[in-house]
Structure 1
């Protein structure tokens, strides 16, 4: 009896020690700053072959599909403005999406129940902005690849996500999120980035009236596109779109005729030659960037915020002197940081062009001086006098 009694006491001690150890681990997690909560800290909760906190899925390279650049049938899946929308190639991308959805359906309805942690919802410690996971989409009862945009607020299970293959965002319950196997992250994001060419907004930014009519006429409709320019680094296709394969008339032109947009001269040969072969992009083409929209750091606050954003990006201190803005609203700290990072790349690119412009102007001045000197020499003048002479 004594031996049994001692054994019971030892078991109780072991239980107490295990409980104390568990509580210490919980306390240690709480004591770790959020920036130190890396994938290594919580690796026990994640399947070994699942996406980790640093996993990224980049857009697919445009026209790696072998498609031509004109007369491509597309469907615009989401719109922010005519300068920022998402689309897919109706034939090629549709086939890939259907196969991806089928593979995800098979995995989460069959294989996942036999694999540790795949059948459970993603733990809170992984619900971080930027984390790649799978999300159950109630509308058509399918699984989609998603990027988490925000952490849930206390006492609320709603999480904002971006569906990377559709260019659309949404708010979902955290119970809909699952770990995503790494093999599903090898395929690039299938929502392609698009921008209308040959037009500009009738004002600093696109007014809601133009946006509403543009969305009504093109969203989720079969269209044809003519890609006139590419930005491979950002994955953006600048295009004309139309209901007809021959692009006559283009919706771009129709917007100008309907006074919903202005006609841009930036694509003209004359203007591009004047700028050393470069097409000047409007600041509203550049900002908000697709990365800002897809990461959820750019707020959709309507007309009032759009005007405030104009004041930021149209300030010469910003786009001429590369001075990052100081946004007073503490809830916009992610946008402020994103603009700082954007300026770094913009400055690097812009300085190259400014140097080229300076050299081109100096060459032009020298050529003009030589032409003037030849004319004066023909009249017996040997040297052009300077202003002091």
Structure 2
């Protein structure tokens, strides 16, 4: 019989949480033959990346996954063989009691946040707390051997490489989004949280000797873009030109479309966790806007990734990448740091591809989870 999996997702930051769990649920079904229920407490956030969702229905099937609404009053359900609490969310008390009543307790895992910090390797797969005799385990995604790896569907890198080598396919895809890149311009994407440093970056792009066509999916950064442009509102389809910079707003798209958008661009600014990983699989230079945390502890996480990511770069190229990322996440000088990066563009571009291929040698996250379950039973 197929293993039954319950994945619980409490939507905290609109799209990152549900983005990761939705990808994971589908991969477990398609590639590993699992029976998956995805419990989501905010179906409206889910609807943005899966428009077929009916937010009024508490139980429905989407792409082979049973999607269940997780309301304030628990509807009741028998626990699965494997239970995943995504990003340390708290399971419903009634469900936890039912786990304790099972003749054979399920494998209960806390799928934690992605981090490159050294301590993650030592904590991966360690037992955590117990609840009435049911043991919970830590499971950490990561970039190093000894972690759970990254979400990566079978054949993803081969599909990406073929797409990037097919100019006609890229053109057709961009046309489907209403995008006709400015001739000779650098195509870039911007998906970020609110950021005071954006104005300085857009200033230098507008004054650059080479044009930039900037694609901005609808999201939280749009207000900052509007202020810089001096317009009252922006919506999908709008195009504004300032000097060498063309800004185009595009609609929020499905995950598969967003992947291809990243593959089309020469540079991608991304945020959170899901888009951060997908930008790495694009094999193109990127800029990560990490989710801000109290007392700036997120900067430790940022520095840990930068130390790992830039290890193979020359000292000058490493300094350029680190300076840009730190400026973007700590209100630094984006104009000067962007100019520094452009000076090392060929090396940084090749490094992005090398990093992608290196990470692709590790087991993917879904496979690592299945292997842990198989060894546990």
TM-score normalized with structure 1 length: 0.20
* Structure whose CA Rg is larger: 1
TM-score normalized with structure 2 length: 0.20
